[in-house]
Each structure stands twice: as structure tokens, then as C-alpha cells.
Structure 1
Amino acid sequence: MAKGKQRKEALSPITDPETAGYFRSYRRIIMYEDLNSASTLFGGRLASWIDEGSAIFASCQMNARRIVTRKISELVFHRPAKLGDMLEIWCKVLRKGSTSITIGVIVSRRSFADDPARAKNPDSAEICRCEIVFVCLDEKGQPKVWNA
């Protein structure tokens, strides 16, 4: 980079047209306890983070505290994430039902310029994507209309 020129902030929103309209709802740094026996991110750990990050987003969209995960679509991992990578979970409302909401989720891996393994391309890369359906519940645990 030429002297005097500033690099864009490393954490700016994804600008890929495919992800337009998504909002970052969650971030995590991958630590040793998050790794599997192959020294990459354990898929079950990522699934938990996806559920939590998208639930935070859905709660805000529904303005409701009592929501439950009804369905998580197929989760296909496109590439690994490794120790020290930052994961960003991006969410977008896909559909609104009277008692439910469907959230589109994209997980990206952000690596940094000082990572020797990824120094040539320190930008983000998509790890996986899925859809999650959340249902709003009343005090008795029954589906409740939220989108009147």
C-alpha cells in the first residue's frame, strides 16, 4: 500500500452484492477450546454460535424475548476456520409469518494481514450459510402472534 493511503477498516460491512442487506449480529475469535481434532473449528461449536447470533437478531426483529429455534436448514461448510480467525455472523430477514420469522445466515471468516498463513489475502471468506426459523412464544410456551 502506498505511503499516506489509508486502508479501509478491516471490519467494514460485507460489500458483496450477494450479501447485501445482511447485518452483522455476532463475532467470535476462535480459541483453542473451539477446535476439533483436525485443529480447525469444531462444527458443533459453530452451529451453537449461529443459533445464538441469529436468535439475538431475531429477538430484535420480533421485539420478543421468548423465541425458540424451530428449524435450522442444511449447514454445509465451504472452508475451514482456524485458531485466531475472527468469525462474523451476518443475518437477514427472509420471511415473516404471524408467529415465526425466517432468518438467512452467512458466516464469514476474517483473517488479518499479520497472519503468516493468510498474509496474501487477509480479507473475509464465507464459511457457511443457512436459514433458521424462530417461533415467538407466549408465557405458556405456545406460539404467539408477533407480526400483527
Structure 2
Amino acid sequence: MSIQTLTTYHLVKSEDLNHHGTLFAGRNAEWFVEAGFIAASALARPENIVCLKIHGMSFTRPVQRGEVICFESQIVFAGRSRLVAHVKMKGKSEEDVIVDGFITFVHVDQDGKPLPHGVIITAETPDEIKLQEYARNLR
């Protein structure tokens, strides 16, 4: 299967702000993981997917109240039971990447043990191949 991009949006409201009046990193982490989970659940049963690790989440700029932010998520690597999502959070323009990172999810059985998912991801473009190789080496 080729790499698919899923897009979600959030309006930053007053309740999403920290004491500096900008987007609270904890709220962003919630949305970041949610975007990755949506991508993973498009390929495997959602009830069998758990988040194992967020591999970095650095902001390039503060996010203000009233901004509409876009999350683009894609599963770029599939191991035996692992699914690795690449998630970008963007502002108004394609070039305005605010957060960029990876999340590892594990496909588990009802006892929480790793369970093969059978997903095969094929990277086709040079950028996809680069992302896939990076994701393959995450631990």
C-alpha cells in the first residue's frame, strides 16, 4: 500500500492556551497523537492500536488563539506489529510547519501483547523513502 496522508484541523480556543496566552504544549500533544492515531486506525483496527512513543515534538513558533492549525499524518513505516506515523502541524501556509515529528504505535491483542497487523507500506517518492528509512530506525 502506498503512503496516504490524512488531514485534520483544530481551531485554537481560549481553553487550549497556556499561561503565556499561546497553545498549551499538552493540548498540542493530544492533537498530535490523535492525528497519528487516525492515520494508524485507517490501516488497522482502532481497538487494537496503542501509542508507544512520541519521538520529539519541537515547536518552531508559538500558536495564537484563533489560529486554525492543520495536522497532516501518514503511516510511513510498518513493522510486524509496529506502525510509525509522521505528523506535521501547519499554520496558514504549506511552508508554515510548526511541529514535525514521529509517533510509534503498536498493534496489540486483547491482552496487550504485540499482534501482527499485516500492513505493508510502500514508499514511492524520494521524500517518502527518506521518511521511511528514518522511521525504520526509531526505537
Give the structure-1-normalised TM-score: 0.72
Q: Which has the higher contact order (CA 8 A, sep 6+)?
A: 2
Match of 1:100 in 2: 82
Partner of 2:5: 23
Greater than 4 Å deviation, 4+ residue runs: none
Query: How is 1:117-128 mapped onto 2 (pairs within 5 angstroms)?
Result: 123-124=93-94, 125-128=96-99
Answer whether contact 1:25 1:57 (CA < 8 A) is retained.
Answer: no
When Rg is computed on C-alpha atoms for both structures, the one with the higher figure is: 1
Structure 1 portions without partners, runs of 5+: 1-20, 111-122
Provide the secondary structure at the position in 2 that maps to 1:76. coil
Structure 1 position 74 matched with structure 2 position 45: no
Q: What aligned pairs does 1:1-148 form with structure 2 within 5 A after superposition? A: 23-110=5-92, 123-124=93-94, 125-147=96-118
State the secondary structure of the residue aligned to 2:114: coil
Aligned length: 116
What TM-score do you get using the length of structure 2 for normalisation?
0.77
Instruction: Summarize the Cα distance change of 1:133–1:88 in structure 2 as closer, same or farther, 3 Å threshold.
Output: same
CA distance in 1, matches of 2:77, 2:49: 16
Q: Retained in 1: the 8 A contact 2:81–2:106?
A: yes
RMSD between superposed Cα atoms in Å = 1.6
Q: Which amino acid aligns with 2:29?
A: A
Deviation at 1:94, TM superposition (A): 1.7
Between Structure 1 and Structure 2, the one with more helix by share is 2
CA 1:22–1:43: 2 relative to 1, 3 Å: farther
C-alpha displacement of 1:65:
2.5
Q: Is the 8 A contact 1:90 1:105 kept in 2?
A: yes
Question: Aligned with 1:75: secondary structure?
Answer: coil
Name 1:119's counterpart in structure 2: none
What percent identity do the matched residue pairs reach? 28
